[in-house]
Amino acid sequence: MIRDIERILIARGAISDRVRALAEEITRDINEKEDEAELVLVAVMTGSIIFVADLMRNLPMKIRIQLMTASSYVGKTTTSSHDPVVGKLPDVTGKHVLLVDDILDSGKTLTRIQGELETLHPKSVDTCVLLRKKLPSAMAVPCTYVGFDIEDEFVVGYGLDYDDYYRNFPDICVINP
């Protein structure tokens, strides 16, 4: 598997620093909304699992975590399918919600899930992605918190995968599948 790695795009130290900075921004913003605010992290699985774990360890507030599934890549492909398949939505009525995903490329998954969550009447819905591709479709999607803007390359590691492999790599890497 190592031979498939073309290069490290974002090293683990830079990821760690940025996750801490995102947590500080989120904490400040949530505290401005409400004293003793409770936050529900809605994590889009499976790609965001490592990012969510690191992010929540840096949030000094009451947190509930809800997991949901969404998929737009199926099998051995580096191209997103047309419509994401979204799993069961969590109950977020009357809560401050932070929707967390690994990568924003087409924007279809984030837009669809956010829209569906808003029908459940939460107090607020903010979005957080680790990576946003510098594509017109991704840049057009409003996103409250962005870890890194990257070029349009297929990346793996830190939870991101290719055919369910490479999630365990600690750096974000460009691959040659």
- Which entry of 54, 102, 105, 126 is annotated as an active-site residue? 105
Q: Which residue has the tokens 């799993």?
A: 87
Q: Is 105 a catalytic residue?
A: yes
Whether residue 100 contacts residue 108, with contact meaning beta carbons closer than 8 Å, is answered with no
- Tokens 């929540």 correspond to 56
CB-based contact 62:39 (threshold 8 Å): yes
Taking phi over 0 as left and psi of -120 to 50 as alpha, with beta for the rest, 121 belongs to left
Question: Which sequence positions are flagged as catalytic?
Answer: 105
